[in-house]
Structure 1
Amino acid sequence: MTLIKRIFVAALLLVLPLAATAQEAMTEDRVRELVRETILANPEILVEAIAILEERAAQDRVTASADIIAAQRQLLERDSNAPVLANPDGDVTIVEFFDYNCPYCRRAVPAVEGLIEADPGIRLVYREWPILGEGSVFAARAALAARQQGFYEEFHWALMGMNGRAEERSVLRIAEEVGLDIDRLRADMEAPEVAEHIETSIRLADLLGITGTPTFILGDNLVPGAVEQDVLQRLVDEVREEQAQ
């Protein structure tokens, strides 16, 4: 919608309640005239009216996201092909979409680590979503393959804490440092479940309208960006309250 149309619709939102109380029938031309008169007499209403539109649009997006999360909850929270950290039997599940080359994902690490240390009821599901180039794809495939050697968690935190970009050489160097068998790792990276996990992440991100990393999902909330630990904890507490009702 162009700005001109948005302004007209916004002003109309404020004018219609007045029109509804008018005794005379309101023709389309009369409504347009009333809108113009209202704008000319009260130009400040445009800011308020556009704010109303934007608030309604934001609420519509939140409602749509919540509906999609509810429809995809089983796959989001209980996909057997997704790594689970912290407490596998926790009462609140957090799903994180991330990329090893995302600086904001790395910035969020202290908040995530602090949360799972402070709250033993957290169940953390990771969705490898490599969107920042070939190095990200290689890192995601290597991390998922590391599950076969029981090293996913250690390898994950090491990759998140690395300096510089995750590329084939740097990823394999860290893999050696944590004790992975590199030949086996390369072979396991070609396993169908590795590709399946990434493809599922792409499909879920598209359905949910996720546009960047990190993105967290808690209950019906979709939370983009590197949020602080206290924000995550507040959302966790809200989910617990809803579950208790």
Structure 2
Amino acid sequence: MIRNTFAAILLASAATLAALPAQAQETFDAKQTDAVRKIVRDYLMEHPEVIGEAIESLREKMRAQAESDAKKAIESRKDEIFSDVNDPVAGNAKGDVVVVEFFDYNCPYCKVVLDPMMEAVKADGKVKVVFKDMPILSEDSLTAARVALAAKKLGKYDDVHRAMMKFRGKLDEKTIFRLVGEAGANVDQIKKEMMAPEIEKQIRKNIELAHALDISSTPSFVVAGADGKAARTMSGAIEGQVFKQLFDITRKGGRLTGAN
């Protein structure tokens, strides 16, 4: 710890000195300037590993700060995250645990995680799932998001959502509308509804909300109690068993089994 602190001081001193304009550096005595440079150089030559340690320490501080900021954002915007009436919902709408998924229809990991997540939700019976479209991968992803939200307005969200998520390969506009028809939805109605201003607004809101939560990839999840408590964020293709553990941990107020 002492060595890391000393290293951080040295690196900060070196960075500060290097960043000073020439006029500012003139305020230092030439011997003092050379002495600082020599101390920093000698120490780093003898202990080059501290550079990596200092960088890792900075990364950890940044991660902790991002996590703290995300928790504050969850608390201040919990109604938008967990209870937006415009969001598609699955599972038990009155469940005591909520899983919010930010996803993209062209994200292969989102497709992989769908069945394990929904199987865990069904087996539990007391979990609400909220889907938030986050089309960040392509223009076709945006088209798919608009189509899905239009299908929700027409009562066909579940069928259209599953059809597009089950499709393996890149979704393009032609494929999207073919899948819509195969899912039993009216393609002409979907095309009309998908350009509604409220759908565009909802998608933009989802993306802005994701940024506020420091979510930048799909799939990403916010798991919390129905009241928004014990919330945590996770990313990636989570396995079904992990979802089950998350449900249990959330019900225990965010504590691991056996924790004090």
Per-residue deviation, 1:51: 3.4
Per-residue deviation, 1:163: 2.8
1:77 to 82, 87, 92: 82
Aligned to 2:227: none
Aligned to 1:178: 183
Per-residue deviation, 1:39: 4.9
Amino acid in structure 2 at the alignment position of 1:59: A
| Further displaced range: 46-55 or 152-161 | 46-55
Aligned to 2:107: 102
Q: How far apart are the structure 2 equivalents of 1:41 and 1:169?
A: 62
What are structure 1's unaligned runs of at least 5 residues?
1-6, 15-27
Amino acid in structure 2 at the alignment position of 1:89: K
Q: What's the TM-score once normalised by structure 1's chain length? A: 0.80
Correspondences of 1:227-242 after superposition (within 5 Å): 227-242=238-253
The question of 1:202 aligning with 2:207 is answered yes
What are structure 2's unaligned runs of at least 5 residues?
11-31, 225-230, 256-260
Q: How far apart are the structure 2 equivalents of 1:225 and 1:54?
A: 20
Amino acid in structure 1 at the alignment position of 2:207: I
Correspondences of 1:132-211 after superposition (within 5 Å): 132-211=137-216
Q: Percent identity?
A: 35
The question of 1:60 aligning with 2:65 is answered yes
Q: How far apart are the structure 1 equivalents of 2:73 and 2:198?
A: 24
Q: How far apart are the structure 2 equivalents of 1:142 and 1:68?
A: 29
Q: CA RMSD in A?
A: 2.9
SS of corresponding position for 2:99: strand
* Residues 160 and 180 in structure 2, CA contact (< 8 A), matched pair in contact too: yes
Q: How far apart are the structure 2 equivalents of 1:147 and 1:188?
A: 10
* Residues 66 and 214 in structure 2, CA contact (< 8 A), matched pair in contact too: no
Per-residue deviation, 1:238: 1.8
Deviations 1:34-75 (A, max 9, x none): 776765655555544443333222222211111111111110
Amino acid in structure 1 at the alignment position of 2:78: R
Change (3 A) 1:33 1:230: farther
Per-residue deviation, 1:31: 9.1
Correspondences of 1:85-124 after superposition (within 5 Å): 85-124=90-129
Per-residue deviation, 1:10: 6.7
Amino acid in structure 1 at the alignment position of 2:101: E
The question of 1:12 aligning with 2:8 is answered yes
| Further displaced range: 213-222 or 40-49 | 40-49
| Further displaced range: 186-195 or 124-133 | 186-195
Amino acid in structure 2 at the alignment position of 1:229: G
Deviations 1:166-201 (A, max 9, x none): 222111111111111122222221223312211111
Q: What's the TM-score once normalised by structure 2's chain length? A: 0.76
* Residues 176 and 182 in structure 1, CA contact (< 8 A), matched pair in contact too: yes
Amino acid in structure 2 at the alignment position of 1:91: D
Aligned to 1:226: 237
SS of corresponding position for 1:132: coil
Deviations 1:193-238 (A, max 9, x none): 3122111112112222221111111133121221222222222222
Q: How far apart are the structure 2 equivalents of 1:142 and 1:10?
A: 57
| Further displaced range: 38-47 or 207-216 | 38-47
Q: How far apart are the structure 2 equivalents of 1:84 and 1:62?
A: 26
Change (3 A) 1:42 1:120: same
Change (3 A) 1:8 1:241: closer
| Aligned length, in residue pairs | 227
Amino acid in structure 1 at the alignment position of 2:197: P
